[in-house]
Amino acid sequence: MLESLFLSLKLSILTTLTLIILCLFLCFLLYFYHFPFKQILIAMFLLPILLPPTVLGFYLLYIFSPSSPVGGLYKHITNKTLSFSFEGLLLASLIYSMPLAFFPLWEAVKNINVRWIEIAYVFGYSRIETFFKVILPNIKGYIISASALVFAHTMGEFGVVLMVGGDIPGKTRTISIYIYDAVQSLDYEEAHKASLILIIFSLLSLSILLIGGKKVWKGESYYT
């Protein structure tokens, strides 16, 4: 069980960190640059939240297979297959959890007052300084919310993980697959233990989402 738990933690932490950085970059790009079909692009980022995990898992499995251009290119470069590997699992998690990071961060970027940025520029702050001293402190709450959501979602992910990663111990067997296996083999005690761990992690994530978001500003909260 510990092996599956650590694998899930590794997958969740990597997914969370990557998605926060990637989605922040995408949100700023989409907000400040105007180009045709922008709304369609945003809809594509949000689409995974509406698709059943089996549909998404099926297509990802198809795309990751060595016979497809993406999977074939990956195999050509690394001599490994994307499907049924941790790397494939991570890529699938990034796609599947993307809406949960994109939604709050898109709201965060939309709530940034352009005047704050302009004031920083006029008072001599560079773009990078403005990002760290003005933008980041004002969207901290949204980043905490997005991180908690993505982390909890990835910890409990089942359908896509099973479709893309299969059930390889130490490689792709996450805690949720472990629970499934335990139930299948009628080992309810083990299933209970693993489920309890997942519930604790989910509760912790939700607490961070609510308490962390509340302490964003020393003075005012986004949630009260």
In the complex, the residues that contact another protein under the rule CB under 8 A are 113, 115-116, 118-126, 133-134, 137-138, 217-220
108, 27 Cβ separation under 8 angstroms: yes
To the nearest whole angstrom, how small is the minimum distance from the Cβ of residue 151 to another protein?
24
Task: Please say which residue, 125 or 158, places its beta carbon nearer to another protein.
Answer: 125
Cα Rg, the chain, nearest whole Å: 20
Backbone angles phi, psi at 20, to 5 degrees: -65, -50
Q: Token pair of 127, please?
A: 């773009």
Task: Please say which residue, 8 or 145, places its beta carbon nearer to another protein.
Answer: 145
Q: What is the DSSP letter of 47?
A: G
To the nearest whole angstrom, how small is the minimum distance from the Cβ of residue 122 to another protein?
5
CA–CA separation, 53 and 159 (whole Å): 5
Q: Token pair of 24, please?
A: 């922040």
To the nearest whole angstrom, how small is the minimum distance from the Cβ of residue 47 to another protein?
34
Cβ density class 28-54: b for 16+ within 10 Å, e for less: eebeeeeeeeeeeeeeebeebeeeebe
Task: Please say which residue, 189 or 220, places its beta carbon nearer to another protein.
Answer: 220
To the nearest whole angstrom, how small is the minimum distance from the Cβ of residue 141 to another protein?
10
112, 143 Cβ separation under 8 angstroms: no
Task: Please say which residue, 185 or 221, places its beta carbon nearer to another protein.
Answer: 221
CA–CA separation, 90 and 10 (whole Å): 10
Q: What is the DSSP letter of 117?
A: H
To the nearest whole angstrom, how small is the minimum distance from the Cβ of residue 117 to another protein?
10
- Specify the amino acid at residue 70: V
Task: Please say which residue, 84 or 125, places its beta carbon nearer to another protein.
Answer: 125
Task: Please say which residue, 121 or 131, places its beta carbon nearer to another protein.
Answer: 121
To the nearest whole angstrom, how small is the minimum distance from the Cβ of residue 137 to another protein?
4
